[in-house]
Amino acid sequence: MAVDIKNLNHNQLDELISKAQSRQTELRKEKVGKLREKINALIKAEGFTFDDVFGARAPKSKRAGTTVAAKYRNPADATQTWSGRGKRPRWFNEALKAGKKEKDLLV
């Protein structure tokens, strides 16, 4: 199936590219699936499990993605808070430059 791309307009080319990329993604997923099946069959044939060969997967951390309570609050705008972790926000640095102390900004 040969497509004469010289006769296609811009929209038709975009559509063709999109379809080709989708098909390429599908083919890749199929190939990965077949490879996984081959690997698992080989592992089973040798009498091992996936975890024996590659090690058990570490469980996800329970703390990952948890939010931390605010520790500092901007006196000029009470909606701006900071947990005390990571980079200091601008309002925090500006308050320190203005003569405030960290303990003055505590929630």
H or E element that contains 82: strand 81-82
pTM of the model: 0.47
State yes or no: pLDDT of 1 exceeds 70.
no
Give 26-63 as a DSSP string: HHHHHHHHHHHHHHHHHHHHTT--HHHHH-PPPPPPSS
For 47-104, the pLDDT digits (tens) are 999 888 888 877 777 777 778 899 999 888 889 999 998 999 999 999 999 998 888 8
42: pLDDT confidence band, cut at 50, 70 and 90? very high
Domain regions of the chain by residue span: 8-54, 72-105
- What is the rounded CA–CA span in Å between residue 99 and residue 4? 72
